[in-house]
Amino acid sequence: QVQLVESGGGLVQAGDSLRLSCAASGRAFSRYAMGWFRQAPGKEREFVAAIAWNVGITGYVDAVKGRFTISRDNAKNTVYLQMNSLIPEDTAVYYCAAEFRRTPTYSDQEYKYDYWGQGTQVTVSS
């Protein structure tokens, strides 16, 4: 069992930065791929970024490439999402998710993730 708690959301202006954190409790965090998803009002939840338990393997949705960076600190059981150059279209509830993996890979499919956090709101004003 893994519990995930996100933090770091808030209200910012376009062009600003935010760093989201996701603290995990439970066993074997270093064997979980970690993902960030988001859900904007009236839209389905979508993949944003993911990182394998090998910290060198990451993936992003095209809309955030070059602006967002996912990272993890296995010693602290925490995954981060650094979001720069925010735009109003980034407004959403951001969710952290964990997927147990036997290999250092990740998925961009939410149904593959085993555990989810409660979400943190990010609002970007124009």
Dump pLDDT digits (tens) for 6-21.
999 999 999 999 999 9
Question: What token pair was written down for 27?
Answer: 């066993």
Question: Of residues 29 and 20, which shows the higher confidence score?
Answer: 20
- Average pLDDT of the residues in 92-100: 97
Which pLDDT does position 28 carry in this prediction? 82
pLDDT at 47: 98
pLDDT averaged over every residue in the chain: 95
Residues 6 or more apart whose Cβ sits within 8 Å of residue 126: 13, 14, 88
pLDDT at position 1: 83
Residue 25's H or E segment, with its range, is strand 18-26
Mean pLDDT of 92-120: 95
pLDDT of 55 > 80? The answer is: no
Q: 37-41, 64-68, 98-102, 118-122: which has the minimum mean pLDDT? A: 98-102
For residue 126, CA distances in Å to 5, 90, 99 come to: 28, 11, 35
The conformation of residue 103, written as its DSSP 8-state character, comes to: S
Q: How many CB atoms lie within 10 A of CB 115?
A: 17
Q: How far, in Å, CA of 119 to CA of 121, rounded?
A: 7
103/89: higher pLDDT: 89
Q: What is the pLDDT of residue 109?
A: 96
